[in-house]
Amino acid sequence: MERQEFRAAASLAAVFSVRLLGLFMIYPVFAAYAHGLSGATPYLIGEALGIYGLSQGLLQIPFGLLSDRFGRKVVIIVGLLLFALGSAIAAMSTSIGGVILGRVLQGAGAVGSVILALVADLTAEENRTKAMAMVGITIGFSFMVALVAGPILASFIGVPGIFWLMVGLAMVGIAITEFIVPTPRRVRVHRDAEAVPALMGSVLRNKELLRLDIGVFVLHAMLTASFLVVPGLLHGTLDVSTHSQWMVYLPVLLVSVVVMVPAIIVAEKHRRMKGVFVVSVAALVLSQVMLYLGAHNLYVLLAALTVFFCGFNVMEASLPSLITKAAPPDAKGTATGLYSSLQFLGIFVGGVVGGWANQHGGAVGVFALTTVLALLWLLAAVTMAQPSYLTTRLVPIGDGKAGDIAGLAAQLRQVPGVAEAVVIAEEKLAYLKVDSRAFDSAKAHAVAGTS
């Protein structure tokens, strides 16, 4: 990437991460804290943990569309201010209702799609995949750091202190956006990075994309529901306080990374994606069965958590890749936007339904729920089609080639390695699905008149 592109991608990844750090840091410590809030019940604790996912999931795509009209930076700053306001309300609240209100406002700052659109504004087509990968890696790293840092910070500043820290992180994000992130020369719709309402119907009718959307929904529902009871189980079996449980999460996450790296290499480089995918979902099923049958046994609990996070991290790394492989070339952004919305709605459902199961059946009820969800996902995974191993490439169109769209698309399909080609004349871009091992980039640019 050019220096300016690297600066844009790195600074926007930082904005993404400071927001996610705060959101995930409360996961391992929230349930124990919330029991001391007035009006708290197991159901309402689950609702408070997960409800930010409802506003986040519903507003992801609308925020992206608003940024097309009013500008990326303005919408990002407004979203971070909403996030800060919600964090402050949650920090000051002594009742579970106040925390729920704060969490709704936190989620209302749904700027993830806007950040990705701004990445697209600030990078050339040939470097956009690298920039998006930088943001994606930051998201995964933030999640793992947050699970370890949350209990440590809570021991010093408490959960209200973590909420106040979120306010500070939001202010840092605003400063980065305003003073470090470059301002794009112009804002335009990027079909590879943004949702296009006109394409939503075709994406919803794509069965393979829906399988993946179901997967990320279930994955985050399981995660959120589990954190309603796992901290209490660790305290009961290990006699380790919530604030010291980072000592459990750290080795478990390190093992999961050691498993994840070779699994992704096998899936991507050796093209064994479906096999790795199905095995990972089966591992998630196994972890939930182990928790259902023996969560009060120390060794079963630790083994189940290790198996769960191994499967979880492989899925977190491979699901976005599978989405881009399955999406039509001109609907990658739309498919990714819907996927992101379903991820957050899974967090909401996991919190609410997990809270209900915890109130009526305790930890066993929660793991009965997550086991059923995981089994349904396994059924969907086993019946999925083999991934295409195609990636999306964007090729600019020369001024003299925009007249015959159908003819140019047909010519591009004849280029070695090109499986699909969609030409959008008003954007002067061709969206291609290609086999990267066989794709002749030079010839594609020559056909498009931009060599």
Report the alpha-carbon distance of residue 345 to residue 83 in Å, rounded. Answer: 18
Residue 100 lies in a domain: yes
**Judgement on whether residues 124 and 18 belong to the same structural domain of the protein:** yes
pLDDT tens digits, one per residue of 227-250: 999 999 999 999 999 999 999 999
**Judgement on whether residues 310 and 436 belong to the same structural domain of the protein:** no
**Judgement on whether residues 385 and 398 belong to the same structural domain of the protein:** no
Averaged pLDDT for residues 264-269: 89
Q: How many domains does the chain have?
A: 3
More confident residue, 407 or 95: 95
Confidence band, pLDDT 50/70/90 cuts, at residue 188? confident
More confident residue, 99 or 23: 99
Report the alpha-carbon distance of residue 173 to residue 218 in Å, rounded. Answer: 30
CB 81 within 8 A of CB 170: yes
Averaged pLDDT for residues 316-341: 91
Q: What is the pLDDT of residue 391?
A: 86
Averaged pLDDT for residues 289-311: 95
Question: 222, 356, 201, 327: which is closest to 283 by C-alpha?
Answer: 222
Sheet strands side by side (includes 429-434): 391-396, 429-434, 418-424
Q: What is the pLDDT of residue 350?
A: 97
Please state which of the ranges 13-22, 357-366, 401-410 shows the lowest mean pLDDT.
401-410
Residue 420 lies in a domain: yes
Indicate whether 279 pLDDT > 70.
yes
Q: Cα 62 to the chain's mean position, in Å?
A: 17
Indicate whether 2 pLDDT > 90.
no
Residue 191 lies in a domain: no
Averaged confidence pLDDT in the chain: 92
Residue 195 lies in a domain: no
CB 64 within 8 A of CB 86: no
**Judgement on whether residues 332 and 395 belong to the same structural domain of the protein:** no
Q: What is the pLDDT of residue 136?
A: 84
Indicate whether 28 pLDDT > 70.
yes
Q: Which ranges of 184-245 does DSSP label H, i.e. alpha helix?
A: 200-204, 207-226, 230-238
Backbone angles phi and psi of 14, in degrees to 5:
-65, -40
Does residue 395 sit in helix, strand or coil?
strand
Question: 230, 233, 227: which is closest to 350 by C-alpha?
Answer: 227
Q: What is the share, in percent, of the chain residues with pLDDT greater than 70?
A: 100
| List of E strands, 321-428 | 391-396, 418-424
CATH number at residue 406: 3.30.70.100
More confident residue, 425 or 403: 425
Question: 156, 169, 307: which is closest to 246 by C-alpha?
Answer: 156
pLDDT tens digits, one per residue of 53-110: 999 999 999 999 999 889 999 999 999 999 999 999 999 999 999 999 999 999 999 9
User: In the 8-state DSSP scheme, what is residue 39?
Assistant: T
Q: What is the pLDDT of residue 365?
A: 97
| Segments forming the whole domain that contains residue 439 | 391-447
Please give the C-alpha separations between residue 215 and each of 70, 184, 280, 310, in angstroms, as whole numbers. Answer: 33, 35, 11, 16
Confidence band, pLDDT 50/70/90 cuts, at residue 428? confident
**Judgement on whether residues 47 and 119 belong to the same structural domain of the protein:** yes
CATH number at residue 291: 1.20.1250.20
Q: What is the pLDDT of residue 402?
A: 67
Q: What is the pLDDT of residue 276?
A: 94
**Judgement on whether residues 171 and 242 belong to the same structural domain of the protein:** no
Q: What is the pLDDT of residue 405?
A: 84
Q: Quote the tokens at residue 191.
A: 């079909």
Q: Taking the chain, what is the end-to-end CA distance rounded to the nearest angstrom?
A: 19
